[in-house]
Structure 1
Amino acid sequence: MSGPFQQFPLGGGTTADLYLLRYDQDGGLRSPLAEREIKDRLAGVGDVFLFSHGWNNIFAQALDRYRDFVGGFIAQRQQFAIAVPPDYRPLLIGVIWPSTSFLMPWEAGPRIAADPEPDGAEARQVEEMLGLVTGSLGAEVDPEFVELVDGRSVIDSDAALRAAEIVLGALRAEPDPDDGSSPPTAKEFLTVWAALDGGGAAAAPADPDDFGVARGASPGLLVAGGGGFDPRNLLRAATVWKMKARAGGVGSNGVGPLVAHILRESGVRLHLVGHSFGAKVLLSALASAAPSRPARSMLLLQAAVNRWCFAADVAGTGRPGGYHSVPDLVDRPLLTTFSAFDDPLTKVFHLAMRGSQLGEPGVAAIGDPELYGALGGFGPAGVEGISARRLAAVPGRERYDLGGASRVIAVDGGVEIDGKPAIAGHGEVSNPATWWAMHALVRPD
């Protein structure tokens, strides 16, 4: 669509225009007229805010998230009379990319061999996940996989091993781009699967020395009270893999060229704001853009990327994190939130993203998020000397110090402000604490 989708009043008769850019699953631009108008307007604006949503592709809901954040940000500036640059003429861009139309898997916790919810919400989600996963399978294995898992709430270990082999081969065959770790073998993934199912391990299909109870887990909790696997948790893990990869592709192939153009062809201050997998979209965009000058700021809200992504040396492996260069591509310190109240990112992400434990120095037991934990769940790792941790600042009363040597500031959203957590869940990212963090990055002082 061409033209701004909405205008937000800023006071004094001025407005901020919001444009929406839609991308397909490979990063192909589907809004060329809107992008052309954005580029034509760059000479007349001072600040560009580029937003990317996370686990949500329903247009109306993505738009609501942008409206909520922008509206709250503007109201808070007026509430506290926050200073803006003298040439503050903002233009807003919201990315619309196809992630999924339901909640992030495990948003409400794993379903352990349970019947679908009475309203059919879970059944619809499982059907969508099945479609997403099988869309990446070759014709030679698709029928076999569907017969193994379709409509089932429990399968035996031999069937689970074969299903895992098929999905890993299609969606998790390459090293993880965030931390460089090798993918798990099918047997290793069965240990993860058992943990996702409820903390225990099911009967091994082969050598018990290769597959046993997850260390630190509760061996008494087994799927459906017996030795089987819930295929819905395989679909959930596979959907996470697919969406994580898609976010990277949308960022590199789609949003990256726009970021490169903005930073090469204009002098505007570019502010990047990403939530969940939307953080990966914007990290990939900036990393791939090879900009001629840095973006002004980056705010990552409950980022669903590996916590070692900024490290020069991931857990002593000698590998750099996939986004280790990004903090140097941003003028102001990169702010990234994390919260103990984000259940998907503190309880499940590290299980779904666990790689192979073979040949990995210092890899912790399954269930330990040290290597595979999410940035939005536990904060960054491997950035000692260039990072700082800070409790979420109280709006109107506390300030973030952006003048030090830290290139990454991890904002703890688990702290209470006015009697409730600053960030109370994975999707609770449009609130006074996050608006205040954004103001810290935008204000001229």
Structure 2
Amino acid sequence: MTLTPSVGAAMGLGDAIGAILAGPRAAIARALNQFTYYEMKARAGTVGAALGARVLGALGPAAPVRLHLIGHSFGGRLVTSAAAAFPAPTHLALQSLTLLQAAFSHNALCASFGGGQVGAYPKVIGKVAGPISTTHTHNDSACTIAYALASRLVRDNAQAIGDAADEFGAIGANGAINLAGSQIQAVPPMATNGRYEFRPGKVHNFNADAGIKDHMDVTNPVVAALVAAAVSA
């Protein structure tokens, strides 16, 4: 099997939508490709659950260790799934969870939304001892447009595709939404000076309009400073 350079990368979001919009033949070809958006999303959840339950859960460090999970794009779903399955073994504490332009539902962490629906990972809040942090910006067209379109399978015509009012929006576009007031900490946009204040166990949604220019722009100094601050909190 020959893998293209984009396999496993977040660009699969845009590729999947491009195939759908290119016409039926292209869409069918993409659907037969095991590395489509849908397969990547499902695998992220499956691998993450196994990582949390079987790998991290089997660790038994002799002395206390603080575990920090950081994920980008579909990797955000992977580490969140790992956190949800994490059994908190002796001497291994889940200290922080950082989601950089995460390509999964902005409702994933909430206990209830849309008339009784439940997010995929509501129990993650309460399992993380330190901060849960997300970055979000509509500069990220993969999370704002491509994710929302792929998630709805082009089934309806939302008035505001990809924004916080869209049932199919992504965390990387809007942050984690529909949370209880006690679960979320209001924060200013990403800081250029790297100074942050975190509250343990709460979700911090950082607007990244000034710090992230597109989906892959998560290795710049502003993002690095946020990650460093979160793991040091």
TM-score range, shorter chain: 0.7 to 0.9
Provide the C-alpha distance between the structure 2 equivalents of 1:280 and 1:411, rounded to a whole number of angstroms.
18
Amino acid at match of 1:299: T
Q: Report if aligned partners of 1:275, 1:301 keep a CA contact under 8 Å in 2.
A: yes
SS at match of 2:80: helix
Matches within 5 A, 1:61-76: none
Number of residue pairs aligned between Structure 1 and Structure 2? 221
Aligned residue runs from structure 1 range 26-425, under 5 A: 100=8, 103-106=11-14, 110=18, 197=21, 229-233=23-27, 239-254=36-51, 256-262=53-59, 267-292=64-89, 294-316=93-115, 318-354=116-152, 365=158, 368-369=161-162, 370-385=166-181, 386-387=183-184, 388-396=186-194, 399-403=195-199, 407-415=202-210, 422-425=211-214
The offset of 1:395, in angstroms, is 2.7
Q: TM-score, normalised by structure 2?
A: 0.80
Q: Which runs of 5+ in 2 are unaligned?
A: none
- Deviation per CA, 1:140-193, whole angstroms, max 9, x where unpaired? xxxxxxxxxxxxxxxxxxxxxxxxxxxxxxxxxxxxxxxxxxxxxxxxxxxxx5
Partners of 1:257 and 1:285 within 8 A in 2: no
Query: Equivalents in 1 of 2:216, 2:152: separation in Å?
Result: 23
Query: Residues 335 and 102 from structure 1, CA distance in 2 versus in 1: closer, same or farther, beyond 3 angstroms?
Result: closer
Identity %: 29
TM-score by length of 1: 0.44
Q: Do 2:52 and 2:85's aligned partners in 1 also have CA atoms closer than 8 Å?
A: no
Shift of residue 241 of structure 1? 0.8
Contact 1:342 1:425 in 2 (8 A): yes
Q: What SS does the corresponding residue of 2:206 show, helix, strand or coil? A: strand
Deviation of residue 233 (structure 1)?
Answer: 4.3
Letter in 2 for 1:298: L
CA RMSD, aligned part only? 3.2
Cα distance change on mapping 1:265 and 1:247 into 2, 3 Å: farther
Unaligned runs of 5+ in 1: 1-55, 62-98, 112-192, 198-222, 224-228, 358-362, 416-421
Larger Rg: 1
Distance 1:237 1:308 in 2: 26
